[in-house]
Amino acid sequence: MDRADHLELFHRIRSRYPELSPSFRKIADYLLESYRDAAFLSASRVAARVDVSESVVVRFAAALGYSGYPEMLRAVQRIVKSELAPSRRLAGEEAAAESAGGDDILGRTIASDIENLRLTASDPVTTTSFARAVELVTGAAEVFSLGLRRLGSLASLLGVLLTTSGIRTQVLTHGDATLFEQLMYIEKGDALVAFSFQRYTKRTVDALELANRRGAGTLVITDSLTSPAAQTATVSLICAVKGQSFFNSYTAAVSTINALVAAVVSRRLKASRRALEELDDLLPDEDFFGRGNGL
């Protein structure tokens, strides 16, 4: 396969999921949620776990395009092996220890963010899907940027940058009835960009499902292809968000937003320049941004 992607199994499941039979969906759901266990199970044992026959498991592998269950099992094992690889599991801690010292929280945090950026830049899902994400946003008549709870800041950042670049954008940060009032008019030709990181919110998935039903494009920026939102959206970008405290660090997510907007602007450079010029003309006076210090 061209991508040699250790997450190829997840790609195949997601692309075929809407067409799967109920029995096949049982297997797909099990592999997405419990792939670490499945990596060491025979076809008969997988069948017992999801209450289907062994022959259904074998047919499921064939339906995904594998030559048989053993080939699909190797695909599952590649995912687990990648997660256990020292370069992904320990690189952040080793880099922090070498550069910062044991008690230097500033150094360890920055080193962790650098590792998040590295992992995000090399993630096969993100590098494969980025062009599709740019196409989706560039071609949208209107973009809806969704981030619930603490992810509202990411949605707002994307909204400001796109609006300033001349793309009509609505920012959605509330998970109550207001969310669906704002999405009432989303339609084919529009795009919903959702941010979804652990702990995942069901309302984000509900919004994506609504956008899908209306024929709008859907993009999720998330931390795993196995997240509920990634299983719902048509395009996914994966960001590493490991933090040094109880909370995620969204440095890589911000960088992904910057890259997405930069790519979109480069595709519609004249329109973006015209939008910025119009914005300058609308500002009330030359002192709007203040004086001094280069402002």
> Does the structural domain 8-84 have CATH classification 1.10.10.10?
yes
End-to-end CA distance of the chain: 52
The structure tokens listed for 55 are: 């022959």
Which of 27-41, 45-59, 84-98 reaches the highest mean pLDDT? 45-59
The structure tokens listed for 223 are: 């931390």
| 125 has pLDDT over 90 | no
- Looking at residue 165, its pLDDT comes to 87
- Mean pLDDT over 248-277 rounds to 88
What value does the mean pLDDT of the chain take? Answer: 84
Of all residues in the chain, what percent carry a pLDDT higher than 90? 48
pLDDT in tens, 182-230: 899 999 999 999 999 988 889 999 999 999 999 999 999 999 877 888 8
The structure tokens listed for 3 are: 């991508």
Give dist(CA 233, CA 5) in Å, integer.
Answer: 20
Of all residues in the chain, what percent carry a pLDDT higher than 70? 85
Question: Between residues 68 and 98, which one has the greater pLDDT?
Answer: 68
- Looking at residue 213, its pLDDT comes to 93
Give dist(CA 116, CA 225) in Å, integer.
Answer: 16
pLDDT in tens, 264-283: 999 888 887 777 777 766 76
- Of 38-47, 169-178, 215-224, 240-249, the range with the lowest mean pLDDT is 240-249
The structure tokens listed for 213 are: 């039903």
Class of domain 120-282: alpha beta
DSSP state of 247: S
Q: What are the extents of the domains in the chain?
A: 8-84, 120-282
| 112 has pLDDT over 70 | yes
- Looking at residue 199, its pLDDT comes to 80
| pTM above threshold 0.85 | no
- Mean pLDDT over 125-131 rounds to 87
> Matching CATH topology for 8-84 and 120-282?
no
Do the Cβ atoms of 168 and 217 come closer than 8 Å? Answer: no
- Looking at residue 293, its pLDDT comes to 52
pLDDT in tens, 3-36: 335 678 888 887 888 889 999 999 998 888 778 7
| 292 has pLDDT over 60 | no
| 291 has pLDDT over 80 | no
